[in-house]
Amino acid sequence: MLNRIFGLETEYGLLVHQDHPDRSPTWFVHKLRDHIFNVQRRGVIDLHHRGYDEPPGNGGFLTNAGRIYLDMGHLEYASPECESLMDAVASDRAGDRLLQQAIDELGWSETVSLIKNNIDHETNATFGCHENYLVTRRFPFTRRGLAPLVTFLVTRQIFTGAGRVGSAGVQDAWVQTDRLIVPRSVSGLNRDVNLLPFQISQRADYIVNDFFEWVQQNRAIINTRDEPLADPNQYRRIHLLLGDSNIAEFATALKLGTTGLVLQLIEEGHIPTDLVIDEPVESLQEISQDQDRRWLVRLMSGKTISAIDIQEQFLSAALEYCKGQDSETDWVLTQWEAVLRDLRGEYTNLVGRVDWASKLWLLETYRESEGVGWDDPMLKSLDLEYHNLHSEKSLYHALVEEGRVPRLTTDAFIESAMTHAPRNTRAYGRGELVKHLLAGAPLPGEDLPEREDPFAPSYIINWSIFKLRGCPPFPMPDPFKTYVQDIRTHTERRLS
């Protein structure tokens, strides 16, 4: 893709297969983290406080330059920075395999499962899949400038949604009404939601604002926190938390690819006009919950239009201004067009490519064979099993084995991505640094303890900077630069 850095952060649900477990899910995730860093030695654990909720030992960077850590009780994997869609998909799948491999080595395959989804059917809790896209500081990060992106994001769920059985309760939060910030319960925006059999998005029920800075309690379509993790004078990071965790490789690539192209259209001033949605949060939820799959939304102009029509207008602009710029762009354009065409027909045409369609087909097949309704409790169990990381238990992987799923990666590619970072971004240098630390090589300045606080950590690693004891901080502000040779020189240098 053209001048774009992608990254995914995935929180995993953990399911304990015991009626009366003697260990909590939190105990299991701590042991999994410790096994990955202390036994498998996949990376180096943090020695410093990363924040009030991330004490030393909470997580660390891996040799593939991604991170594994604990967040609000969930295991979370953050992929390394990727400049290509295939690297992004492979890195995402690598996180799944790293975690499942740890479960297998600990002998827990029959005791616990990691579930790559976004909801807990029992507690009504949600956990996220966050997307990251690098843009320049020239990007129009204003309500007016972001309005087309909001429209795109609200409607893209028709091919990026992971699907779910049922619905969540009405979410309470503070929302903006005109110039006032008021509780949602008094804003007039709450709607009665009857029990739904199935909807196409898992996260839609939990999004309560169009724009908001923080990620907890007031989840927004666009997160406005300005944390570029790069040179702040040149870059901004678009951080999205409205999307579902996709387990289908095709859906992951199309989600990242189409969003990247829409960001490019906005940057270059080629975005379609007159597509601003009147009530984006309500439209997001109505599209997800529409049992007839007509997916109609009302625009600020008063016009009613379908999500497919909106997506086709974005596609048309991308075809005009982006086609031919590179092979991955052309793949995205071809597949985007094919998926929108198939969405106008039977949803079963999308099995294997779109997660919600694959899941719905599996659930409908079960209902028909067993003669049960949507209130059958087994459906929620099957919903979860679609996302199971264990290949012998996952319903998605069963579709793969049946040849119903197009693969974009290979097992060898994923295996490599578990250990090695992409070689054309900042991740490459960071990955080499982690390998250097794991090899136990003496750190620069370790023979000069009088120059350093003896209680200071021997290393501190963050996304855009690191520091080794005895050396000055080493900034890495440009995500497009590998820094690999500079880092090798830095780690070999001795202070005089």
Query: Amino acid identity of 470?
Result: G
Residues composing the chain = 496
Q: Say how many C-beta atoms besides its own lie within 10 A of residue 371's C-beta.
A: 7
Cβ(170)–Cβ(207) below 8 Å:
no
Of 34, 71, 290, 376, the active-site residue reads 71
Of 443, 430, 428, the closest CA to residue 491 belongs to 443
The pair of structure tokens assigned to 43 is 């990376």
DSSP character at residue 389: S
CB distance 103 to 16 below 8 Å? no
Q: Which of 225, 213, 220, 358 is nearest to 281 (CA)?
A: 220
State how far the Cα of 178 lies from the Cα of 43, in Å rounded to an integer: 48
Q: Please indicate whether residue 342 is annotated as part of the active site.
A: no
Amino acid at 277: I
b/e map 290-327, b = 16+ CB within 10 Å: beeeebebebeeeeebbbbebbbbbbebbbeebeeeee
Cβ 283 vs Cβ 277: under 8 Å = yes
Backbone angles phi, psi at 39, to 5 degrees: -105, -55
Crossing angle, helix 143-160 and helix 280-289, to 10 degrees? 10
Say which residues have a Cβ less than 8 Å from residue 248's Cβ, sequence separation at least 6. 352, 353, 354, 355, 358, 396, 405
Residue 470: which of 495, 436, 433, 438 has the closest Cα? 495
Selection from 126, 128, 101, 119 nearest residue 32 by Cα: 101
**What is the SS3 assignment for 197?**
coil
Phi-psi region of 71 (alpha: psi -120 to 50; beta: other; left: phi over 0): beta
**143-160 and 249-268 helices cross at what angle (nearest 10)?**
160
Q: How far is CA 137 from CA 130, 141, 234, 236, in A?
A: 21, 9, 5, 6
- Reference 282, options 118, 443, 393, 171; nearest CA is 171
Helices first, then strands: H and E counts in the chain: 13, 19
Nearest Cα to Cα of residue 424 among 8, 1, 139: 1
Active site residues: 71
